[in-house]
Amino acid sequence: MSRIPKLPTTGTKENRPGLLNSRPISRTIANGLSDADKKNLLLNHTRPLRNGPTTTAPAQRLKRAATAPSSTTLPGKVTKIEKKPPTVAPKIPPYDYKARFNDLLEKHKAIKSEYNDLKDKHVEVSDDYEKIKETAHSSASERDILKEKLLSALNDLREKTAEFERMKIDFEIQKHENEDLHRKTKLLEEISLNLKKKSAELDKVQSDFDDLTRRHTSLKEETEALRVLTEHLKRVSIEFDKLKLDYKDAQEMIVKYKTEAEALQNILASMYKEQRDLRNTIQDLKGNIRVYCRIRPPLESESTKPLFNLNVLDACSIEVEKIELNFSSARKGKSQHGFTFDGIFTPHASQEDVFAEVSPMVQSALDGYNVCIFAYGQTGSGKTYTMEGGCGTEKYGIIPRAFNMIFTSMEDLKRMGWELTIKASFLEIYNEIIYDLLNSSKEQESHDIKMVNSKGTDIYVSNLKEEEVKSSHDFIKLMMFAQRNRQTAATLNNERSSRSHSVAQIKISAINEKRKEKFTSNLNLVDLAGSESGKTTQRMDETKHINRSLSELSKVILSLQTNQSHIPYRNSKLTHLLMPSLGGNSKTLMLVNINQFDECFSETLNSLRFATKVNNCRIVKAKKNLTMVDT
């Protein structure tokens, strides 16, 4: 901004005119002199040399000039004064005036040229001064502008400062307020935290209180229950005391009754024995082989089938009659036959009616006798229905009813000190081979009939499954299982069930520890194969076997009837199996089943004739299998 040239800083501080006193003005201004200083400075510069406060003599000035620094710097122009090495003037003798004059002349010349130089320099300095003046002038105006600006800036500054001060105060106030707020916030946070804690504590206290309330309620209830219980206990205690007395009385009574019961039990046992003996006397009188005839009613589907005449003459006799219409045949005319048995079951007889007659035989088994009940007759005559029955307890046949009876009697026998074990097995004899009906696997083991002891009075079938039965329900389940197995075999081999003998064996083992008695008895319930003759090759084969076993059965019965020494039991599987139940020590009941269809007349006649043969046979008095228990 300043165009003032830089002046040399060297030189004396004396306020001399000209170059020697030329301090750089710009520097002084820049150094911030006061206005008065600046004025003085300018005046000093412009004052003529002679008006200077310290006017020096020309000789002195010359001398100073001679010793002055060899170079001076002027603003704008730099004049270099060459430094000459000081020449040592030869000492002039005082007498040499000429030389001294020449020397003075020389000095004068030098001063003169110096003067001229200085003059030139003065002119230069004057120019510079003018320039500086101008510059100073413009600087002054600039300074004024700047001053104004400075003033306004100062005003602004003052205002800003005032504003700043205000703001500072405001800031301070704000700061205080902020701090205050901060403090309050902190305080609030602390209060809120405390509140939260208190609230949590309150919640806990509340839940504790609720807990306590609940416990209090339950305790109250328990107390109430306890109170009720205590009252009840009091009552019970009174009752207990009463009962104790009653118990004492009862105990005395029990002892009394026990003695009486024992006496009664003895009476009962002897009565039971008498009753049993009487029963068996009656049985003996009736005969140990008993034959009944059952006539099957035609089914709805058979209602159109022609029937032959069948007259039930009395409870034990029937008459069958067929009128031959084929007059060309030799057997034309009436064919009438009468038969007498131990009983006749008409088509109206129910399963219950049949069992009522059969039950004494089951009772005999429970009394310790071997019993065999078998159904005989042609296919479809009602053998299976008679032995096994149909669905529902009403239609139950002899086998399930016999079991029901055994389990009912077991209770009475228990009361008299008898413990009974009942075992059951189911088998089928087809074409002289024994099949275990309780074994459902296809791979059947071979079954042989073997002797239990050397006396040959009892037999057993090897590899035959024997299940202990605890209830009649167990037995029904077992019987149904055997029926299913028989039906499966029948499905595989058409009509096999009709062509095979089915045997349900029930073994009763009884022991009376008190009386030291025990017995075992066998109850064989047999559904024989159809007695008719077959027509096909296979049927012929089957028939051969069936007929053989049935004729062997008739032979055995005949041998028994005629008291033969040798009874041919072993000639067929059936007779061999039934040996214990057919022999002297047994009771046999045969049910001959017939139907009334005209087409079945001759087979019916055959069945009735066979039954008559059996009926004529009287087994020797049966013996009970009772033995004494080894002690």
Cβ distance to ligand ATP smaller for residue 370 or 497: 497
Closest distance to ligand ATP from the beta carbon of 529 (Å): 7
| Residue with tokens 């939260």, as numbered in its chain | 196
Calculate the alpha carbon distances from 158 to 144, 154, 162, 163, 337 in Å.
20, 6, 6, 8, 163
Looking at beta carbons only, is 409 or 547 nearer to ligand ATP?
A: 547
Compare residues 381 and 625 and give the one whose CB is closer to ligand ATP. Answer: 381
The nearest distance, CB 612 to ligand ATP, in angstroms, is 19
CA atoms within a 13 Å half-sphere pointing along the CA-CB vector of 519: 16
379 annotated ligand-binding residue: yes
- Contact residues for ligand ATP (CB under 6 A)? 296-297, 299, 377, 379-385, 390, 497-498, 530, 593
Rounded Cα–Cα distance for residues 559 and 571 (Å): 13
In angstroms, give the least distance from the CB of 382 to ligand ATP: 3
Is 592 exposed, middle or buried, given 0-12, 13-18 or 19+ CB atoms closer than 10 A? buried
Query: Which two tokens mark 66?
Result: 């001679």
Q: Is 380 annotated as a binding residue?
A: yes
Tell me the closest approach of the beta carbon of residue 560 to ligand ATP, in angstroms.
Answer: 25
Report the nearest approach of ligand ATP to the CB of residue 376 (Å): 9
Show the tokens assigned to 266. 């003895």
CA nearest to 335, candidates 370, 360, 310: 310
Q: Please report the DSSP string for 607-628 in residue order.
A: HHHHHHHHHH--PPPP---EEE
d(CA 48, CA 444): 167
383 annotated to a ligand binding site? yes
Say whether 378 counts as a known binding-site residue: yes
Comparison of 4 and 387: residue with beta carbon closer to ligand ATP: 387
Q: Residue 89 contacts by C-beta under 8 Å, 6 or more apart in sequence?
A: 103
Minimum CB separation from ligand ATP for residue 536, in Å?
Answer: 16
User: Reduced to 3 DSSP states, what percent helix, strand and coil does the chain have, rounded to the nearest 5?
Assistant: 55, 15, 25
Residue whose CB is less far from ligand ATP, 291 or 567: 291
Would you state the structure tokens that stand for residue 109, as one six-digit string?
């010349």
Nearer to ligand ATP, 510 or 525 (CB): 525
270 is in an annotated binding site: no
Q: Is 6 annotated as a binding residue?
A: no
| Position of minimal CB gap to ligand ATP | 382
Give the closest residue to 268 by CA, choosing from 419, 418, 407, 421. 418
Nearer to ligand ATP, 57 or 391 (CB): 391
- DSSP for residue 445: P
Region of 432 (left: φ > 0; alpha: ψ -120 to 50; beta: rest) is left
Q: Provide the minimum distance between the beta carbon of 623 and ligand ATP in the complex, in angstroms, as a whole number.
A: 33
Where do we find the tokens 């300095």? Answer: 125
Which residue numbers belong to the known binding site for ATP?
Answer: 377-384
